[in-house]
Structure 1
Amino acid sequence: MSIDLARPFRGSTAVAAGLLTWGELRGPRFQKLFPDVYAPAHLEPTLVLRSVAAAVLVEGRGVLAGYSAAELLDASCGPADAPAEVLMLRPGGQSYRYPSLRVHRDLVDPTETTDVDGCAVTNAARTAFDLARWVSSLVEKVVAVDVLAYKRGIALDDLVRLRLTHPGAWGARHLTAVLRHATDLAESPMETRIRMALLAAGLPLPTLQFEVQAGGKVRRLDLAYPEVKLAIEYDGEDHRRKDRARRDLEREAALVALGWLILRSTRASFTGVRTW
């Protein structure tokens, strides 16, 4: 068996293969993530690292799910310090109780799982279905579904189908509210949070990704109220780059010339209404 010591691995397997000793595993070269699961010490303890380690821990008995699955599916939507999440394939069995691991026990069909870089994970539709049930905040439920719809192309009907496939699933009653608000047009989690904050404040639903011809180019607005020429834009980290900031100023000038008012929001300015 080939063992990749550059990513999380079972210590006992590496020792049995003669690749390492227990003394080396306890030394400064490695970090222990779960019982008998190690990784190189220089790797940062990200959600991806915790998730891959959790996949090693439950290999053959469970799959990555929830925020862990979303992270590996390139649809990151949870807090950076979230615990790894696994969905056990069979009821009962071994119990895992670690601060950096959240264990779910539920029915999962083999067609609802996939493989990502050697890790068994729930597929995009099942991941959205689970997060819509498991996450406590309605806003963050919608964030998760929006991200998976935009990044992985799931249809909202997929969640309806899964609710029919799993009648009586815990938390399925929340899906109606989630589906009422979810969309595949939000291009970032923060856009969803802003949209939900506007609705919570009693404002009408804004138009998403509204296109305006301005300055000889088509300008797409994150959230817009075209009837009053009001746009709300979310500026992520990439907007801090000088070249991007310059383009933003040129873009805003072209829109303002047409009578648009542009309101800009950043993660820092939105901190007070975060819900996780």
Structure 2
Amino acid sequence: MTGSPPTWRQAVRAVSLAAGQEVWLSHLTAGRVLGAQLFDDGVIHVISDLGHPVDIPGVRSHRSGTLEPGDTTTRDGMQCTSTLRTVLDLSATLTVKALGELVDHFLRTKQLQLEDLRERVGRTRPAPGRSVKALRMVLAQRIPGYDPGESPLEARIARIIDRAGLPRPKQQHRVQYDGLRYRIDFSWPDRKLYLEGNSFGFHRLSSDLDKDAARQNELVLDGWTPIELTWKMSDATIERTLRRFLARV
């Protein structure tokens, strides 16, 4: 419609074009362009090397002397920082929890490798706008082999299990019983023990709940033991519950 204000993406694209070839969308702006659900702080962030300052109304310009090959990419025709660089740049902006969720999102969408982030953080020094401490805290909760699963919920459970030193479950395990196939979020097949994301308080439609109940009944008939947990349980309670089941089965 004529006279309508531009959408956020249109405004970002306009800045990307106006800023030039040696400037990239960055920080919260890059995160959103790369598909992450991040808050809008009301400005468009860009980054450039020290020799290319940007002066555009509504744009916050960051300059860096540490842009490396691979720190930049193009998404939907817009130049922006890579997922790895975006995580580094947001380490002092986001809480540790939110930073971890950002990392999990990029891992889940196959846009980031955990070991690449670990290597980069290992040689990164603290600087204004960057928190190496926060990055190390995020990595400490995500040991080698960590899998964020298909949702933030699964990522939380994976971290609890790793932190507690419990046997790692198989994720997205497929089971066939009585001619039907099922996929289980978390399972210990050797113990026929499993837990599911729907047990953690997702608000599902009644039809989904009916299917979940029917599937659980079939799995129980096949000898599987379900673990029932809720989202509101503390990490300590979840750990204690898992430890008790794993000790008995």
Tell me, yes or no, whether TM beats 0.5: yes
Are 1:123 and 2:82 counterparts? Answer: yes
**Tell me, which stretches of 5 or more residues in structure 1 are unaligned?**
1-26, 32-38, 271-276
After superposing the two structures, state which structure 1 stretch, 55-64 or 228-237, moved more.
228-237
Conserved? CA contact 1:67–1:84, under 8 Å:
no
Question: What TM-score do you get using the length of structure 2 for normalisation?
Answer: 0.64
Give how far 1:159 is off: 1.4
Are 1:180 and 2:154 counterparts? Answer: no
Q: Secondary structure at the match of 1:260?
A: strand
Identity across the alignment (%):
20
Conserved? CA contact 1:126–1:162, under 8 Å:
no
Sort the Cα spacing of 1:207 and 1:153 in 2 relative to 1 into closer, same or farther, 3 A.
Answer: farther
Match of 1:150 in 2: 108
Sort the Cα spacing of 1:261 and 1:159 in 2 relative to 1 into closer, same or farther, 3 A.
Answer: closer
Match of 1:15 in 2: none
Q: Secondary structure at the match of 2:112?
A: coil
Q: CA RMSD in A?
A: 4.1
Match of 1:260 in 2: 226
Q: Secondary structure at the match of 2:86?
A: helix
User: Map of 1:52-131 to 2, 5 A cutoff?
Assistant: 52=13, 54-56=15-17, 58-60=19-21, 62-74=23-35, 76-79=36-39, 81=40, 83=42, 86-91=45-50, 93-94=53-54, 98=58, 104-106=62-64, 107-131=66-90
2:213 to 235, 238, 249: 249
Match of 2:239 in 1: none
Q: Secondary structure at the match of 1:111?
A: coil
Q: Secondary structure at the match of 2:229?
A: strand
Give how far 1:241 is off: 8.4
Give how far 1:108 is off: 1.8
Conserved? CA contact 1:129–1:162, under 8 Å:
no
